[in-house]
């Protein structure tokens, strides 16, 4: 199999980016959901917050690379060309996932830097706070971040269900080709 996409198959780079990001994004949702229930004095409160912020920046970097890679690559054709509405919904779903992920990153940045402090990335470097202190911005961004996260995980569930429907009901290669198999 090739590194890049063809009009019939996803290449290894697209497949790897998809399967690296999938568990990271789901894990970030689960970590975020866990964190909001922690008390300020819980032993893992501050560490989980630091992990969530640092991983968020790393995920946004990988997502940006994935977005650029996908724009430069051939797009594999839909397997069921006679299902125009289904193909349009799939395209809308993929673009919506991108939009929600980038919105999560932006809102997370606005929350994390609302006190005028940058985001420490595992003590390797710091992503600076580009906006002045603003507690109201942080509160609003936090509410938006939560709504976007719930919307995102709902769309991920629909995305996964659609892949399984293609695999088990339509018996086509939609899921297989994202797993790197051709048949």
Determine the distance from the C-alpha atom of residue 142 to the mean position of all C-alpha atoms in its chain, rounded to a whole number. 18
Q: State phi, psi for 33 to the nearest 5 degrees.
A: -65, -40
- Domains of the chain, each with CATH number or no CATH: 12-178 (1.20.950.20)
> Does the model's pTM come out above 0.75?
yes
Report the range of poorest mean pLDDT among 24-28, 52-56, 130-134. 130-134
Mean of all residue pLDDT scores within the chain = 94
User: pLDDT: is 166 or 182 the higher one?
Assistant: 166
* Whether pLDDT at 182 is above 80: no
pLDDT tens-digit map of 137-177? 999 999 999 999 999 999 999 999 999 999 999 898 889 99
* Cα–Cα separations (whole angstroms), residue 169 to 42, 78, 164, 166: 46, 16, 8, 6
Tokens in use for 123?
């003590």
Question: Which of 111, 113, 109, 102 shows the shortest CA–CA distance to 152?
Answer: 102
Q: Which residues pair with 120 in a beta bridge?
A: 126
Contact between 107 and 127 under an 8 Å Cβ cutoff? The reply is: no
- Count the helices and strands in the chain (H runs, E runs): 5, 2
Neighbours of 70 (CB within 10 A): 18
Contact between 84 and 18 under an 8 Å Cβ cutoff? The reply is: no
What per-residue confidence (pLDDT) applies to 183?
61
DSSP H helices, 36-132, are: 45-72, 84-112
What per-residue confidence (pLDDT) applies to 1?
73
Neighbours of 40 (CB within 10 A): 6
126, containing H or E segment? strand 125-127
């Amino acid at each position: 199999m090739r590194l890049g996409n063809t009009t019939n198959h996803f290449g290894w780079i697209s497949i790897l980016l998809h399967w690296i990001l999938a568990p990271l994004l789901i894990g970030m949702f689960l970590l975020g959901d866990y964190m909001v229930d922690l008390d300020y004095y819980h032993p893992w409160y501050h560490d989980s917050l630091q992990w969530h912020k640092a991983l968020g920046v790393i995920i946004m970097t990988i997502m940006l690379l994935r977005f650029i890679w996908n724009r430069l690559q051939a797009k594999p054709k839909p397997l069921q060309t006679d299902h125009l509405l289904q193909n349009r919904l799939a395209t809308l779903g993929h673009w919506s996932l991108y939009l929600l992920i980038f919105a999560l990153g932006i809102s997370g940045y606005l929350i994390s830097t609302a006190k005028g402090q940058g985001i420490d990335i595992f003590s390797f470097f710091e992503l600076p706070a580009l906006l002045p202190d603003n507690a109201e911005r942080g509160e609003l961004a936090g509410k938006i971040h939560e709504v976007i996260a719930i919307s995102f995980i709902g769309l991920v569930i629909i995305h996964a269900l659609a892949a399984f429907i293609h695999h088990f009901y339509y018996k086509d290669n939609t899921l297989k080709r994202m797993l790197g198999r051709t048949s």
